[in-house]
Amino acid sequence: MEYRTLRQLPSGGFSDIFEVEDPETALHETLVLKRLSAEMSARPAVRTAFADEARILRELRHPNVVTFRRCYFDSSGRVCLVMEKVEGEQLASWAHRHRDRPRVVLEAFGRVIEAVDYLHHRPQPFLHLDLKPENILVRSTACGPVPVLIDFGIARSLGGGGLKAYTPPYAAPEQQSGSTLGCFTDVHALGQILVELLDELGEGIDPALRDRLRAVADKATRTSRHRRYPDAGALMLGLRAARATETAPLPARERPRILLTARPAAVATAVGLVLAAAVAGVLAIDGRDGPDPGPAGLTGEVSPELAADSPQELSAALTRAFNAYSRADVAGGDEQFQLARRIADTTQVDAATRERMRRRLEEFERVRDLILQRSSVDAAQPVTQSSGIRSPR
Ligand SMILES: Nc1ncnc2c1ncn2[C@@H]1O[C@H](COP(=O)(O)OP(=O)(O)OP(=O)(O)O)[C@@H](O)[C@H]1O
Ligand SMILES: [Mg+2]
């Protein structure tokens, strides 16, 4: 089946990118089709990388990652990757338009880190390796801005091979020199994005907060990978610590009062933003190489044999709880939180590990209860619909 082309989008030369629609569907929906260019199709390494992009994207299901639809050969034998069209604006221009709302911008950046953290915690972790403002589209929704990662063109499995391609200044030194890549490589790019967001926010941000955030960005972009945050979860923890004293309320115009019972989705978003910090703390310490935080074992009982892995199991359950609360699935979140408690209560571990697990649960619960006990929450004001996608280059 061939799609109807609506228009061609600017691309970096490896592929041709089109907005398309499926002529056979009864529901009109614009999709994005990425097709390896004729020239690049002749290069086996590029063909493999393109297939990897489709394979990786097919594995991913996350609100802040573009959704895969289909991969097929067209009539001329070229591989085509079809995905949802993200109705959004590139991060840099979006941040520029919102430079007078630093909290909204920083919260959106936190969502980007969460999406990368999700990649880093797949059963087989993935590295994006091309994180930059052009590859992050910010979608405006009723619950506030939602950044979405696109362009997995040079993404690879952790430890696997792939194309040597990179974009300075986001690319880490090890990416430029062709040495071992890891989650810390994506951390470098995130740190560079934070540097640029802070420049954009300029004087609009409290000077002490800016200094703390600059220190986070400095650590994320260190030349030595050993001195950087090891992964996106650890970076999230750094961001949370830097923002911990950022207590001033949003200006009234950015702070609609939303009743807890009236807008569960908005409440869940606010819960998610706060919980993200707590969960990131847990992940940063124990979940780095942990098990799949996805749906497997959702309601599973914990057996004593899992004892050795119990801190990771706990992290995974808390991650699932966080994800459920973020989706307004309070029952699902509670279920996962109860599972986390059972893990902490029933597995046989040494006293120090048990104490660490107990503290992590307490921290998670404290943040969750704080939010759930409130009768109203602050939520970021929805931003106006973006004027469209700017040409990336
Ligand atoms: N799913 C999508 N939804 C909306 N816009 C998209 C989507 N995918 C790509 N685009 C637009 O097309 C531009 C180019 O796409 P993408 O980043 O995937 O490829 P690229 O950087 O050109 O990579 P390559 O070097 O492989 O050609 C993006 O910056 C974005 O503006
Ligand atoms: Mg791109």
* Test site for ligand 1: of 150, 154, 390, most ligand atoms within 8 A of the Cβ: 150
pLDDT for residue 270: 41
C-alpha–C-alpha distance, residues 28 and 31, integer Å: 10
Distance from Cα 303 to the centre of ligand 1, integer Å:
46
**Omega before 44 within 30 of 0, i.e. cis:** no
Distance from Cα 151 to the centre of ligand 2, integer Å:
5
Kindly list the distances between the CA atom of residue 152 and the CA atoms of 163, 192, 365, in Å, as whole numbers in the listed order: 12, 18, 35
Q: Which ligand is nearest to the CA of 37?
A: 1
Which amino acid does the sequence have at 151?
D
What tokens does 267 get? 């409440």
What tokens does 289 get? 């190489």
Q: Ligand 1: residues whose CB is within 6 Å?
A: 9, 11-15, 17, 32, 34, 66, 83-86, 134-135, 137, 150-151, 153, 389, 392
Domains of the chain and CATH, by start: 4-84 (3.30.200.20), 88-251 (1.10.510.10), 256-393 (no CATH)
Main-chain dihedrals φ then ψ at residue 41, nearest 5 degrees: -60, -20
pLDDT for residue 2: 85
pLDDT for residue 232: 97
Please state the atom number of ligand 1 nearest to the C-alpha of residue 134.
Answer: 29
pLDDT for residue 309: 56
pLDDT for residue 231: 97
pLDDT for residue 26: 82
pLDDT in tens, the chain (393 residues): 689 999 999 998 889 999 999 988 888 899 999 999 988 988 999 999 999 999 999 999 999 999 999 999 988 888 999 999 999 999 999 999 999 999 999 999 999 999 999 999 999 999 999 999 999 999 999 889 999 999 999 999 998 888 888 899 999 999 999 999 999 999 999 999 999 999 999 999 999 999 999 999 999 999 999 999 999 999 999 999 999 877 554 454 444 333 333 334 443 344 444 444 444 444 333 333 333 333 332 233 333 333 445 677 778 788 877 877 776 777 777 778 878 887 887 777 777 788 778 878 777 776 666 545 443 333 333 333 333 323 333
Angle at which helices 232-243 and 102-120 pack, to 10 degrees?
160
Distance from Cα 150 to the centre of ligand 1, integer Å:
7
